[in-house]
Amino acid sequence: MDMGIRGKKALVCASSKGLGKGCAAALAAEGVDLVLNARGAEALEATAAELRDTYGVTVTAVAADITTEEGRKKVLDAAGPVDILVTNAGGPPPGTWTDWNRDDFIAALDANMLTPIALMQACVPGMMDRGWGRVVNITSQSVKAPIAVLGLSNSARAGLTGFVAGTSRQVAGKGVVINNLLPGIHATDRADSLDGGAAKAQGISLDEARARRAKTIPAGRYGTAEEFGATCAFLCSQHAGYMIGQNVLLDGGANNQTM
Ligand code: NAP
Protein backbone atom coordinates (compact mmCIF):
# COMPACT_ATOMS: atom_id res chain seq x y z
CA MET A 1 0.00 0.00 0.00
CA ASP A 2 1.33 3.45 -0.91
CA MET A 3 1.15 5.59 2.25
CA GLY A 4 0.92 8.77 0.15
CA ILE A 5 3.48 10.71 2.18
CA ARG A 6 6.48 10.80 -0.19
CA GLY A 7 8.25 14.18 0.07
CA LYS A 8 6.81 15.04 3.50
CA LYS A 9 9.18 15.96 6.35
CA ALA A 10 9.13 14.20 9.73
CA LEU A 11 10.73 14.99 13.05
CA VAL A 12 11.30 11.69 14.87
CA CYS A 13 12.55 12.23 18.43
CA ALA A 14 14.77 9.79 20.33
CA SER A 15 15.42 7.84 17.16
CA SER A 16 19.03 6.61 17.03
CA LYS A 17 17.93 3.18 18.32
CA GLY A 18 14.93 1.07 19.22
CA LEU A 19 11.34 2.01 18.50
CA GLY A 20 12.15 5.58 17.41
CA LYS A 21 14.61 4.23 14.85
CA GLY A 22 11.99 1.71 13.69
CA CYS A 23 9.54 4.58 13.07
CA ALA A 24 12.18 6.66 11.28
CA ALA A 25 13.15 3.76 9.01
CA ALA A 26 9.54 2.99 8.09
CA LEU A 27 8.90 6.65 7.23
CA ALA A 28 12.12 6.83 5.21
CA ALA A 29 10.99 3.74 3.29
CA GLU A 30 7.90 5.76 2.29
CA GLY A 31 10.09 8.58 0.94
CA VAL A 32 9.76 10.90 3.95
CA ASP A 33 12.68 13.25 4.70
CA LEU A 34 13.80 13.02 8.31
CA VAL A 35 15.05 15.03 11.23
CA LEU A 36 16.45 12.54 13.74
CA ASN A 37 17.38 13.16 17.36
CA ALA A 38 19.11 11.46 20.28
CA ARG A 39 21.58 12.57 22.94
CA GLY A 40 24.51 10.42 21.83
CA ALA A 41 25.97 11.81 18.58
CA GLU A 42 27.82 8.66 17.48
CA ALA A 43 24.86 6.26 17.28
CA LEU A 44 22.70 9.07 15.90
CA GLU A 45 25.10 9.85 13.04
CA ALA A 46 25.39 6.12 12.27
CA THR A 47 21.59 5.76 12.05
CA ALA A 48 21.30 8.93 9.95
CA ALA A 49 23.91 7.60 7.50
CA GLU A 50 22.24 4.17 7.36
CA LEU A 51 18.80 5.62 6.55
CA ARG A 52 20.21 8.13 4.04
CA ASP A 53 22.14 5.38 2.23
CA THR A 54 19.32 2.83 2.33
CA TYR A 55 16.37 5.03 1.34
CA GLY A 56 17.89 8.06 -0.44
CA VAL A 57 15.97 10.56 1.68
CA THR A 58 17.35 13.73 3.29
CA VAL A 59 18.28 13.08 6.92
CA THR A 60 19.29 15.78 9.40
CA ALA A 61 20.66 14.58 12.75
CA VAL A 62 20.44 16.78 15.84
CA ALA A 63 22.20 15.56 19.00
CA ALA A 64 20.30 16.98 21.98
CA ASP A 65 18.35 15.99 25.07
CA ILE A 66 14.76 16.34 23.88
CA THR A 67 13.48 16.50 27.47
CA THR A 68 15.16 19.89 28.08
CA GLU A 69 13.93 23.25 26.81
CA GLU A 70 17.37 23.96 25.35
CA GLY A 71 17.47 20.58 23.58
CA ARG A 72 13.98 21.02 22.12
CA LYS A 73 14.90 24.49 20.82
CA LYS A 74 17.98 23.09 19.10
CA VAL A 75 15.96 20.31 17.47
CA LEU A 76 13.01 22.50 16.47
CA ASP A 77 15.26 25.25 15.05
CA ALA A 78 17.11 22.69 12.93
CA ALA A 79 13.88 21.00 11.80
CA GLY A 80 11.86 24.06 10.74
CA PRO A 81 8.26 23.32 9.68
CA VAL A 82 7.44 19.60 9.76
CA ASP A 83 4.47 17.62 8.40
CA ILE A 84 4.93 14.65 10.73
CA LEU A 85 5.97 14.59 14.39
CA VAL A 86 6.84 11.40 16.26
CA THR A 87 7.43 12.11 19.96
CA ASN A 88 9.58 9.75 21.98
CA ALA A 89 12.11 9.76 24.84
CA GLY A 90 13.62 7.24 27.19
CA GLY A 91 11.25 5.74 29.76
CA PRO A 92 11.50 6.42 33.51
CA PRO A 93 13.39 3.96 35.74
CA PRO A 94 11.55 1.15 37.53
CA GLY A 95 11.13 1.24 41.31
CA THR A 96 8.72 1.09 44.21
CA TRP A 97 5.90 3.54 44.82
CA THR A 98 7.13 4.46 48.30
CA ASP A 99 10.57 5.48 47.00
CA TRP A 100 9.68 8.15 44.46
CA ASN A 101 9.94 11.76 45.57
CA ARG A 102 8.77 14.97 43.95
CA ASP A 103 11.93 15.32 41.86
CA ASP A 104 11.47 11.80 40.45
CA PHE A 105 7.91 12.64 39.42
CA ILE A 106 8.90 15.99 37.92
CA ALA A 107 11.63 14.27 35.85
CA ALA A 108 9.15 11.65 34.58
CA LEU A 109 6.50 14.25 33.81
CA ASP A 110 9.08 16.40 32.01
CA ALA A 111 10.31 13.52 29.86
CA ASN A 112 7.14 11.59 29.09
CA MET A 113 4.32 14.12 29.37
CA LEU A 114 5.46 17.74 29.15
CA THR A 115 8.07 17.16 26.40
CA PRO A 116 5.60 15.65 23.90
CA ILE A 117 3.08 18.35 24.80
CA ALA A 118 5.67 21.10 24.20
CA LEU A 119 6.63 19.51 20.86
CA MET A 120 2.99 19.36 19.78
CA GLN A 121 2.49 22.98 20.84
CA ALA A 122 5.49 23.93 18.70
CA CYS A 123 4.63 21.89 15.58
CA VAL A 124 0.85 21.53 15.38
CA PRO A 125 -0.06 25.21 14.75
CA GLY A 126 2.00 25.17 11.52
CA MET A 127 0.40 21.87 10.48
CA MET A 128 -3.05 23.44 11.03
CA ASP A 129 -2.09 26.50 8.94
CA ARG A 130 -0.95 24.19 6.13
CA GLY A 131 -4.07 22.00 6.49
CA TRP A 132 -2.24 18.67 6.98
CA GLY A 133 -0.29 17.04 9.77
CA ARG A 134 0.31 13.79 11.61
CA VAL A 135 1.49 13.27 15.19
CA VAL A 136 2.31 9.92 16.75
CA ASN A 137 3.26 9.83 20.42
CA ILE A 138 5.13 6.71 21.51
CA THR A 139 3.69 5.95 24.96
CA SER A 140 3.32 2.49 26.53
CA GLN A 141 1.01 -0.42 27.20
CA SER A 142 1.06 0.89 30.78
CA VAL A 143 -1.61 3.37 29.66
CA LYS A 144 -4.07 0.48 29.24
CA ALA A 145 -2.95 -1.66 32.18
CA PRO A 146 -0.56 -0.39 34.85
CA ILE A 147 2.87 -1.94 35.34
CA ALA A 148 3.50 -1.75 39.09
CA VAL A 149 7.28 -1.21 38.97
CA LEU A 150 6.84 1.52 36.34
CA GLY A 151 4.64 3.83 38.42
CA LEU A 152 6.47 6.91 37.15
CA SER A 153 5.70 5.84 33.58
CA ASN A 154 2.08 4.95 34.44
CA SER A 155 1.57 8.43 35.87
CA ALA A 156 3.28 10.55 33.23
CA ARG A 157 1.85 8.66 30.26
CA ALA A 158 -1.69 8.81 31.66
CA GLY A 159 -1.33 12.60 31.76
CA LEU A 160 -0.16 12.74 28.14
CA THR A 161 -2.99 10.44 27.08
CA GLY A 162 -5.55 12.78 28.64
CA PHE A 163 -4.02 15.76 26.85
CA VAL A 164 -4.07 13.99 23.49
CA ALA A 165 -7.67 12.84 23.96
CA GLY A 166 -8.89 16.44 24.18
CA THR A 167 -6.41 18.15 21.85
CA SER A 168 -6.67 15.67 18.97
CA ARG A 169 -10.35 16.50 18.69
CA GLN A 170 -9.65 20.25 18.68
CA VAL A 171 -7.25 20.09 15.73
CA ALA A 172 -8.79 17.28 13.61
CA GLY A 173 -10.90 19.75 11.62
CA LYS A 174 -7.73 21.37 10.29
CA GLY A 175 -6.37 18.13 8.85
CA VAL A 176 -4.12 17.30 11.80
CA VAL A 177 -4.32 13.74 13.09
CA ILE A 178 -2.89 12.95 16.53
CA ASN A 179 -2.73 9.38 17.86
CA ASN A 180 -0.72 7.45 20.44
CA LEU A 181 1.16 4.22 19.72
CA LEU A 182 1.44 1.96 22.78
CA PRO A 183 4.31 -0.55 22.78
CA GLY A 184 4.10 -3.76 24.72
CA ILE A 185 7.40 -5.59 25.02
CA HIS A 186 9.68 -5.04 22.05
CA ALA A 187 13.23 -6.30 21.62
CA THR A 188 15.22 -3.10 22.25
CA ASP A 189 17.83 -1.85 24.71
CA ARG A 190 15.00 -0.71 26.99
CA ALA A 191 13.60 -4.26 27.19
CA ASP A 192 17.14 -5.56 27.87
CA SER A 193 17.52 -3.15 30.74
CA LEU A 194 14.13 -4.08 32.27
CA ASP A 195 14.85 -7.79 31.79
CA GLY A 196 18.30 -7.27 33.32
CA GLY A 197 16.64 -5.89 36.45
CA ALA A 198 14.23 -8.84 36.61
CA ALA A 199 17.09 -11.32 36.10
CA LYS A 200 19.05 -9.78 38.95
CA ALA A 201 16.03 -9.69 41.28
CA GLN A 202 15.15 -13.34 40.54
CA GLY A 203 18.74 -14.65 40.39
CA ILE A 204 18.35 -15.95 36.82
CA SER A 205 20.14 -15.28 33.53
CA LEU A 206 19.06 -12.55 31.11
CA ASP A 207 18.05 -15.20 28.55
CA GLU A 208 15.92 -16.97 31.17
CA ALA A 209 14.25 -13.67 32.13
CA ARG A 210 13.49 -13.01 28.45
CA ALA A 211 12.14 -16.54 27.92
CA ARG A 212 9.89 -16.29 30.99
CA ARG A 213 8.51 -12.96 29.82
CA ALA A 214 7.96 -14.15 26.24
CA LYS A 215 5.84 -17.01 27.65
CA THR A 216 3.43 -14.43 29.14
CA ILE A 217 2.76 -12.95 25.68
CA PRO A 218 0.13 -14.77 23.56
CA ALA A 219 2.25 -14.14 20.42
CA GLY A 220 5.03 -16.02 22.25
CA ARG A 221 7.72 -13.48 21.44
CA TYR A 222 8.79 -9.85 21.71
CA GLY A 223 7.74 -7.33 19.06
CA THR A 224 10.26 -5.89 16.63
CA ALA A 225 11.12 -2.26 15.92
CA GLU A 226 10.27 -2.95 12.26
CA GLU A 227 6.70 -4.02 13.09
CA PHE A 228 6.33 -1.02 15.37
CA GLY A 229 7.64 1.32 12.66
CA ALA A 230 5.23 -0.06 10.07
CA THR A 231 2.24 0.79 12.28
CA CYS A 232 3.69 4.24 12.92
CA ALA A 233 4.04 4.84 9.16
CA PHE A 234 0.38 3.86 8.69
CA LEU A 235 -0.70 6.32 11.42
CA CYS A 236 1.30 9.01 9.57
CA SER A 237 -0.19 8.08 6.20
CA GLN A 238 -2.95 9.61 4.08
CA HIS A 239 -5.10 6.59 5.03
CA ALA A 240 -5.22 7.50 8.74
CA GLY A 241 -7.10 10.78 8.24
CA TYR A 242 -10.25 9.57 10.03
CA MET A 243 -8.41 8.03 12.99
CA ILE A 244 -8.44 10.66 15.72
CA GLY A 245 -7.11 10.47 19.29
CA GLN A 246 -6.73 6.69 19.37
CA ASN A 247 -4.45 4.58 21.56
CA VAL A 248 -3.11 1.81 19.37
CA LEU A 249 -1.72 -1.09 21.38
CA LEU A 250 1.03 -3.30 19.91
CA ASP A 251 1.60 -5.95 22.57
CA GLY A 252 1.32 -9.41 20.99
CA GLY A 253 -1.93 -9.85 22.95
CA ALA A 254 -0.25 -9.42 26.35
CA ASN A 255 -2.99 -7.21 27.77
CA ASN A 256 -5.98 -9.48 28.37
CA GLN A 257 -8.77 -7.12 27.37
CA THR A 258 -11.91 -7.29 25.27
CA MET A 259 -11.39 -3.73 23.97
P1 NAP B 1 15.71 2.32 23.60
O2 NAP B 1 15.94 1.13 22.75
O3 NAP B 1 16.43 2.45 24.89
O4 NAP B 1 16.02 3.61 22.67
C5 NAP B 1 15.85 4.86 23.18
C6 NAP B 1 16.25 5.89 22.12
O7 NAP B 1 15.89 7.17 22.61
C8 NAP B 1 17.75 5.95 21.86
O9 NAP B 1 17.95 6.36 20.52
C10 NAP B 1 18.22 7.04 22.81
O11 NAP B 1 19.44 7.60 22.40
C12 NAP B 1 17.04 8.00 22.71
N13 NAP B 1 16.83 8.84 23.88
C14 NAP B 1 16.64 8.43 25.17
N15 NAP B 1 16.47 9.50 25.95
C16 NAP B 1 16.55 10.61 25.16
C17 NAP B 1 16.47 11.99 25.40
N18 NAP B 1 16.28 12.47 26.64
N19 NAP B 1 16.60 12.85 24.37
C20 NAP B 1 16.79 12.37 23.10
N21 NAP B 1 16.88 11.08 22.81
C22 NAP B 1 16.77 10.19 23.84
O23 NAP B 1 14.18 2.49 23.98
P24 NAP B 1 12.87 1.89 23.23
O25 NAP B 1 12.65 0.50 23.64
O26 NAP B 1 12.95 2.24 21.79
O27 NAP B 1 11.71 2.73 23.95
C28 NAP B 1 11.20 3.93 23.44
C29 NAP B 1 10.07 4.38 24.37
O30 NAP B 1 9.07 3.37 24.39
C31 NAP B 1 10.52 4.59 25.82
O32 NAP B 1 9.86 5.69 26.38
C33 NAP B 1 10.08 3.31 26.50
O34 NAP B 1 9.83 3.48 27.87
C35 NAP B 1 8.79 3.01 25.73
N36 NAP B 1 8.43 1.58 25.81
C37 NAP B 1 9.26 0.63 25.33
C38 NAP B 1 8.89 -0.71 25.45
C39 NAP B 1 9.80 -1.81 24.94
O40 NAP B 1 9.51 -2.99 25.21
N41 NAP B 1 10.85 -1.55 24.23
C42 NAP B 1 7.68 -1.06 26.04
C43 NAP B 1 6.85 -0.05 26.51
C44 NAP B 1 7.25 1.27 26.40
P45 NAP B 1 20.42 8.33 23.47
O46 NAP B 1 20.50 7.44 24.67
O47 NAP B 1 21.71 8.49 22.75
O48 NAP B 1 19.78 9.64 23.79
For residue 90, CA distances in Å to 13, 48, 127, 132 come to 10, 19, 26, 28
The pick from 12, 15, 16, 19 for probing ligand 1's pocket by mutation, whose C-beta has the most ligand atoms within 8 angstroms, reads 19
Coil, helix or strand at residue 2: coil
Coil, helix or strand at residue 186: strand
Q: Is 67 in the pocket of ligand 1 (CB under 6 A)?
A: yes
Residue type, 224: T
Q: What is the pLDDT of residues 143-200, one digit of tens each?
A: 999 999 999 999 999 999 999 999 999 999 999 999 999 999 999 998 999 899 999 9
Q: Give nearest CA residue, ligand 1 atom 33.
A: 91
How does residue 140 score in pLDDT terms, banded at 50, 70 and 90?
A: very high
| Gap from CA of 190 to ligand 1 centroid (Å) | 6
What value does the mean pLDDT of the chain take? 97
Give the pLDDT confidence score for residue 190 in this predicted structure: 87
Q: What is the pLDDT of residues 25-74, one digit of tens each?
A: 999 999 999 999 999 999 999 999 999 999 999 999 999 999 999 999 99
Give the pLDDT confidence score for residue 98 in this predicted structure: 96
Give the pLDDT confidence score for residue 194 in this predicted structure: 87
| Gap from CA of 40 to ligand 1 centroid (Å) | 12
Q: Give nearest CA residue, ligand 1 atom 6.
A: 14
Cα–Cα distance, 111 to 91 (Å, whole number) = 8
How does residue 224 score in pLDDT terms, banded at 50, 70 and 90?
A: very high
| Gap from CA of 125 to ligand 1 centroid (Å) | 26
Q: How many CB atoms lie under 10 A from the CB of residue 199? A: 18
Residue with the bigger pLDDT between 190 and 80: it is 80
Give the pLDDT confidence score for residue 24 in this predicted structure: 99
